[in-house]
Amino acid sequence: MSTKRIIVIGGSAAGPKAASKARRMDENAEITIYQKASDLSMASCGYPYYIGGFFDDRNQLLCSPAGVVRDSKFFWNAKKITTNVNTEITSIDRKNKTIHFTDLLTGEKGSAEYDKLIIATGATPRKPPIPGIELEGITTLQSLPDADYLRKVRDEGRIKKAVVIGGGLIGIETCEALHLAGIEITLIELLPQLLTFLDKQMAKLVEKYVMSKANVILENGVAAFLGENGKLTAVKLQNGTEIPCELAVVAIGVNPNTKLATEAGLPVGKTGGLIVNEFMQTADPDIYAVGDCIEISNLITHNSIHAPYGDLANLQGRVAGENVISGNVAKFTGTIQTGICKVFDYGVGATGLSEQNAIKNGFNNIETVVNASLDKPGFMQGKLLVTKLVVDKSNGLILGAQVLGPGDVSKQVAIWAMAIQGKLTVTDMVNADLPYAPPYSLAIDHSIATAHIMQNKLNGFFTGISAEQFKKKLNNKEPLILLDVRNPDEYEQMRLGIGEKLIPLGQLRKRLEEMPQDKDAEIITWCKISLRGYEAALILQANGYTNVKVLEGGIMAWPYKREK
Nearest one of 197, 450, 200 to 339, comparing CA atoms: 197
Smallest distance, Å, CB 9 to ligand FAD? 5
Rg (CA), the chain: 27
From 8, 47, 482, 558, residue interacting with ligand FAD (rule: CB under 6 A) = 47
How far apart CA 432 and CA 412 sit, in angstroms, is: 13
**What's the angle, vertex CA 403, arms to CA 467 and CA 471, rounded to 5?**
10
- Interface positions, 5-24, toward ligand FAD (CB under 6 A): 9-15
**Member of 20, 121, 258, 530 binding ligand FAD (CB under 6 A):** 121
Least distance in angstroms from the C-beta of 139 to ligand FAD: 12
255 CB contacts (<8 Å, ≥6 apart)?
Answer: 123, 124, 126, 272
Cβ proximity of 553 and 467 under 8 Å? yes
Identified binder of ligand FAD from the candidate list 6, 8, 20, 48, rule CB under 6 A: 48
Which residues, 6 or more positions from 472, have their beta carbon under 8 angstroms from its beta carbon? Answer: none
Contact between 396 and ligand FAD (CB under 6 A)? no
Least distance (Å) between residue 15 CB and ligand FAD: 5
Q: 420 CB contacts (<8 Å, ≥6 apart)?
A: 300, 336, 351, 352, 398, 399, 400, 401
- Gap between the Cα atoms of 359 and 356, Å rounded: 5
- What is 403-417 written as a DSSP string? EEESS-HHHHHHHHH
Selected binder of ligand FAD within 227, 310, 396, 504 (CB under 6 A): 310
Question: For residues 89 and 451, which CB has a smaller minimum distance to ligand FAD in the complex?
Answer: 89
Binding mask 69-108 for ligand FAD (x = CB under 6 A): -------------------xx-------------------
Applying CB under 6 A, the site for ligand FAD has a residue count of: 33
Measured from the CB atom, the residue of 15 and 166 that comes closer to ligand FAD is: 15
- Contact string (CB under 6 A) for ligand FAD, positions 459-498, x = contact: ----------------------------------------
Query: Least Å distance between CB 53 and ligand FAD?
Result: 15
Identify whether the C-beta of residue 552 lies closer than 8 Å to the C-beta of residue 371. Answer: yes
User: Of 229, 238, 230, 315, which Cα lies nearest the Cα of 280?
Assistant: 315
**Nearest residue to ligand FAD on Cβ basis:** 291
Distance CA 95, CA 467 (A): 60
Q: Residue 363 CB: number of other CB atoms within 10 A?
A: 21
Note whether 292 binds ligand FAD by CB under 6 A.
yes
Out of 167, 308, 382, 533, point to the residue binding ligand FAD (CB under 6 A). Answer: 308
Report the residue number, 121 or 368, with the smaller CB distance to ligand FAD: 121
Q: Does 257 bind ligand FAD (CB under 6 A)?
A: yes
The CA-based dihedral angle spanning residues 430, 436, 439, 443, taken in that order and rounded to the nearest 10 degrees: 50
In the complex, what is the shortest distance from the CB of residue 490 to ligand FAD, in angstroms, rounded to a whole number? 36
CB 211 within 8 A of CB 101: no
Site string for ligand FAD, 162-201 (x = CB under 6 A): --------x-------------------------------
The binding site for ligand FAD (CB under 6 A) comprises 9-15, 34-37, 44-45, 47-48, 88-89, 120-123, 141-142, 170, 257, 260, 291-292, 308-311, 313
